[in-house]
Amino acid sequence: MYVGQGGLIMTEVVGMVFIIIGIPFFLSGTIGLLRLPDIYTRLHALTKADNVGLGFVILGLAIQATSWLEVAKLFLIWFLVLVASATSCHLVADAALRRNIKPWTKE
């Protein structure tokens, strides 16, 4: 919410803090995708870290939003991504098990 030309108010700052909190989650999702040893472990990083990252970004944007409709749309998007990625994660893990891909284990 802007007050006049470039004037910042509380919601703007608090929202931005939440958005910035979200970014490291996305980065660790990517690091996990690259560092972890097999499909199953990579799924952990992908679904958990990225969803929470998006949750914080959306929370921040919602705090800054100027209308309730925008807030509702933001949370709808978050809900869709949450359900989609939990379902995707299950589908990929299930398909990998069906193909007898053995989970990586610590020797």
Partner 1 sequence: MTTLYLCLAIVLLLSVVLGLLRIMWGPTAADRMMAAQLFGTCGVAILLLLARGLEQLIIEDVALVFALLSALATVAFVRRAWRRDDVRRTGGPDHD
Partner 2 sequence: MSVPPAAVAWRLGLFGALWFILCGGELGSWPFGLPTVVLATWVDLQLAGNGQTRALRPLILMRILPFFFWKSILGALDVMARVLKPRLPIDPGLVEFPLTIPPGGGRILLANCITLLPGTISARLADDRIIVHTLDKGLPVVAKIQDLEGRIASLYGPCPAKETGRGLP
Block residue for tokens 């053995």: 102
CB 37 within 8 A of CB 61: no
The 8-class DSSP code of residue 100 comes to T
Verify binding: residue 100, partner 1, rule CB under 8 A.
yes
The option from partner 1, partner 2, none interacting with 17 (CB < 5 to 8 A, set by class) reads none
DSSP code at position 3: B
Whole-angstrom distance, CA of residue 47 vs CA of residue 85: 6
Residues in contact with partner 1 by the rule CB under 8 A: 6, 8, 12, 16, 19-20, 22-23, 26-27, 29-30, 33-34, 37-39, 42-43, 46, 50-51, 53-54, 57-58, 61, 64, 70, 73-74, 76-77, 80-81, 83-85, 87-88, 91-92, 94-96, 99-102, 104
